[in-house]
Each structure stands twice: as C-alpha cells, then as structure tokens.
Amino acid sequence: MSNTEDTTLANFKIDEKLILVNESADSPEEIIRKLGTLLFDNGFVKDSYTQAVLDREKVYPTGLQARMAGVAIPHTDTDHVLKPAIAIATLAKPITFQMMATPEEKVQVEIVIMLAVHDAKLVIPVLRKVIFILENDDALVAMKNATTKTEVKTAMLKHIESMNKKVK
C-alpha cells in the first residue's frame, strides 16, 4: 500500500463542528441530512452531496452490526466532495438502517460516521480503516458513552492513531 493510503485517515478533517452528540433523528434520511448540512456549511462538500448520499444509501446501504453497537458509514462519489472530512453522530436512540452486505436485513444504528472522500482511489482504503476502527470495542464504547463533541473526537483520533500502526 502506498504512503498516501497509509496516512489516509490522518488527512481527513475531524472537527468538532462536524460532530453531533446524543442527536435525535427519526430516520436514516434525517441524520444523513443533518450531517450533510454540517459538511456543506463548513465547506467540505458541494450542495449536491447530501442528495447523492441519500440516493446511494437506497441502492448500497451502509449499516453494519459491530459487537458493541450498530453503525452506519454513509458516503457517496468523490465528485460531490471538495475537501476530505468525517462527520460523526452519536444518536439519542437507535435508527433502523439496512445492512451493508444484506440489504433485506436491518440494523439498529447508534453511531453514524459520514465520509466525504475526495479521491476515488482512497474510497476503499478509507472504508476499510473506518470499519477496522468500528470493530474495536473500546472505540465504539468510547464514542457511544461520549457526552461531548471533544470526547467523540478524542475517541476517534485515538483509534485512528492506533489503527494506523496496525492496518496498512
């Protein structure tokens, strides 16, 4: 794997302005719109991004069942992205998403990590690394139990650093 891929997540902006904690939402669409608005308002994505994520989610759902929580990783094509970023929401109550590999199955999602990937060749490496982080029980527990944006950011950054040492 190239050096670019080794530091993929290190190049992504994880800003407290892009984090929602204990957020209320009634549907995948609602939380995707909220996170998309944060990304757009902060200059990371084009105005077409949120609708593109919603359209992609219908065809290629992103829900995953990890041991400690249900998670979703909505994202879309790179042509809707201006700069790389990750928006994160921890949810006040779970939302039902369709499973990534088996869309006929559902998962109760408690954490949503929405990716704004700017380079097509980085989509798979970024997804692989985010999934690796989400399979880490400590990372999920830290994010689920976070009560502030700083705690969510710290948990994510800590596990990105740890993961970068393990996953190439």
- Per-residue pLDDT of 65-88, as tens digits, reads 998 899 999 999 999 999 999 999
The pLDDT of residue 113: 96
- Mean of per-residue pLDDT scores for the chain: 89
Which tokens sit at 161? 């650093």
Q: Which sequence spans correspond to the domains of the chain?
A: 7-166
Predicted model pTM:
0.90
Ordered mean pLDDT values, 10 residues apiece, the chain (168 residues): 48 87 98 98 98 97 93 96 96 97 95 94 88 86 94 86 59
Quote the CA–CA distance of 57 and 23 in Å, as a whole number.
20
The pLDDT of residue 9: 67
The pLDDT of residue 93: 97
The gap from C-alpha 136 to its chain's centroid, in whole angstroms, comes to 15
Homologous superfamily, domain 7-166: Mannitol-specific EII; Chain A (3.40.930.10)
**Percent of the chain as helix, strand, coil, to the nearest 5:** 50, 25, 30
The pLDDT of residue 11: 67
Cα angle vertex 12, ends 126, 9, to 5°? 40
Q: Please tell me whether residue 23 adopts helix, strand or coil conformation.
A: strand
